[in-house]
A and B are shown apart, each in its own frame.
Chain A
């Protein structure tokens, strides 16, 4: 059998792909959070950044988006397949369930949080990336017409339910990352008693920064009450 094919079919190979695709997506979240920082510099800066990424630099950005979409779909499909196999591996459940592991907590919610994040992405990406659901208003700076993503964000987050949906999703993202980051590293074979406490610390801090950062922006926009600052 072709070695790559055999590797991709094996349980370990798939876990490593799951980990790598997850790490790529985590990395993107940090870039996304940096982009959101532009909200603090006001509409002209933020819209200009959006225009730069989605229009001016599209020859670079679109291939990256395709790569991220590929990683996302792979992560999703592997997630479904692995979860189904894992359930099949224990057809009869235990009558009494107990645990001695300190790490099991968040790991039990990977599938649930993952499915929720899929719903979130199906809501969020068409909305802000493609202007689906409703047309993004337009704005013109120095004769260049662009989408007024700032106004769209302010308008959307003024709705408390919308903000609650976002913040709730970020909490589930925190659950997903709290197990996922360290689990990815373990699947890739990164585990050393000297470095494990540091890896734990960094991966938890990373998850908290990402989820806290996104939630902070959502709550801040909501607190503006629909008025562009």
Chain B
């Protein structure tokens, strides 16, 4: 298969970027999108040119490192799929494919298609954890969790923190990511002691970092490679209202736990 690629090239966060047009020829339909880019980069290196920077790690859809907006869609046209699990057979031979980085003020470009998602780590650091004693695994049935709660927590915990929700949101809002983290811990008994503190602090941090506001367009849910539902956003909205207005001063303080 042959493709005409328009790749976003930007030397660093302060440089002005533009598209570079490249022909990708002899692409196997069974290559993943990232393998196709690897081949393009091999050509670049053979010709002594600067390879295009993009991020990847596990290449099996579970690490959340790949971050490409393909023809305007984060992770490409498939539902519930990361860019590394997107295969070239999904495209038409001869098609023009535009590849851009996640675009959000809170995710500055590092180089080309790689962006800095440290903002997510900052959000996690103010509440995306439980302060319990670590050690050996607890007894299997020592702490009963209703099946429904376990399922919902698991759905939210599927979040790999890739940031496709922010990339897809017309407002570059991080609500689905934060909601997934709040919901994942908030559904479980281990998450209860810090439930109010967690939601208030994580939302405050999210606002502070320059993510946009949620306007319920549901683009995040549609783009999420783990298909996390906006139901979790509704749940966070409820939790936030209650916690912000009724929580104690300690719960509302912006300092870390």
Binding site for B on A (CB under 8 A): 1, 3-4, 6-7, 9-16, 82, 85-86, 88-104, 107-108, 110, 179, 182-183, 186-193
Contact = CB atoms under 8 A, between A and B. Distances in A.
A191 B206 CA distance: 22
Contact of A183 (B19, B216, B223): B216
Interface of B: 6, 17, 19, 69, 71-73, 77, 79, 98, 100, 103-106, 168, 170-173, 200, 203-204, 206-207, 210-219, 221-223, 230-231, 233-241, 244-247, 252
Given A1-B252, A16-B241, A108-B170, A191 B231 contact: yes
Instruction: Identify which of B100, B173, B217, B233 gathers the most chain A CB atoms within 10 Å of its CB.
Output: B217
Contacts of A1: 252
Contact of A98 (B73, B204, B236, B239): B73
Nearest to B73: A98
Q: What 6 A-B pairs come out closest when comparing CB atoms?
A: A98-B72, A189-B238, A89-B212, A191-B234, A86-B171, A100-B222
A94 B240 CA distance: 31
Given A1-B252, A12-B236, A96-B71, A85 B212 contact: yes
A31 to B, nearest CB: 26
A101 B214 contact: no
B237 A11 contact: no
B216 A90 contact: no
A186 B229 CA distance: 12
Given A6-B252, A7-B244, A182-B216, A90 B105 contact: yes
Q: Is the interface of B mostly helix, strand, loop or mixed?
A: mixed
Given A6-B252, A90-B171, A182-B216, A189 B234 contact: yes
B238 A97 contact: no
Contacts of B217: 101, 103-104, 107-108
B173 A103 contact: no
A107 B215 contact: yes
A189 B216 contact: no
A24 B72 CA distance: 37
A147 B151 CA distance: 63
A208 B35 CA distance: 50
A150 B231 CA distance: 47
B210 A88 contact: yes
A110 to B, nearest CB: 7
Nearest to A89: B212
A190 B234 contact: yes
Contacts of A13: 240-241, 244
B152 to A, nearest CB: 11
A6 B244 contact: yes
B72 A101 contact: no
A3 B252 contact: yes
A96 B216 contact: no
Nearest to B210: A89
Nearest to B219: A101
Contacts of B239: 189
B34 to A, nearest CB: 19
Nearest to A180: B216
Given A89-B173, A104-B170, A104-B219, A15 B98 contact: no
B72 A189 contact: no
Nearest to A192: B231
A183 B216 CA distance: 6
Contacts of B222: 99-102
B98 A95 contact: yes
B100 A86 contact: no
A90 B215 contact: no
B101 to A, nearest CB: 9
B215 A110 contact: yes
11 contacts: A7-B241, A7-B245, A12-B203, A12-B237, A88-B210, A89-B173, A93-B103, A100-B77, A100-B168, A107-B217, A191-B231
Contacts of A104: 170, 217-219
A80 to B, nearest CB: 12
B215 A97 contact: no
